[in-house]
Amino acid sequence: MAKTSTPKAPSQRTVERQVRQRTQQLRAALEDMALVCSGTLISRTKVCGRKNCRCATDPEARHGPYHEWSRRIDGRLRHSIVSPEQAELLQVGIENYRRILSLLRRWEEETTAAILGRKNRKP
């Protein structure tokens, strides 16, 4: 019966050095981000409910836009009405959060590749 040998695992120091080299750009991108928040942001217009108001018959005359930020806190969905200025900042934070998740996935791929001794798959 032929023996199969498992490949020799690289040292932790070697793997960490490789990962640091492979993820230098990822870490730099993370450093550039200041605003980070999860959730979604929606903007909507509303009908007020008064029968004689223009919004009741004309969709262009609806009130708003109102901005609502939804996110999970302790497993519960929370909603907040925010100002247009806050909505702009939240949108940047939400985009940064999604970018961070993408960068973390790539970082994990690079770590796995370094540990298993594989070449970088993606630039």
pLDDT confidence bin for 4, thresholds 50/70/90: low
CA-CA distance, 96 to 104, in Å (whole number)? Answer: 12
Task: Give the model's pLDDT for residue 120.
Answer: 55
Task: Give the model's pLDDT for residue 112.
Answer: 87
Task: Give the model's pLDDT for residue 69.
Answer: 97
The three-class DSSP label of residue 32 is: coil
Q: pLDDT: is 72 or 116 the higher one?
A: 72
Where are the chain's structural domains?
Answer: 12-116
Is the pLDDT at 38 greater than 90, yes or no?
yes
Work out the end-to-end distance of the chain between its first and last CA atoms, rounded to an integer number of angstroms: 41
pLDDT confidence bin for 94, thresholds 50/70/90: very high
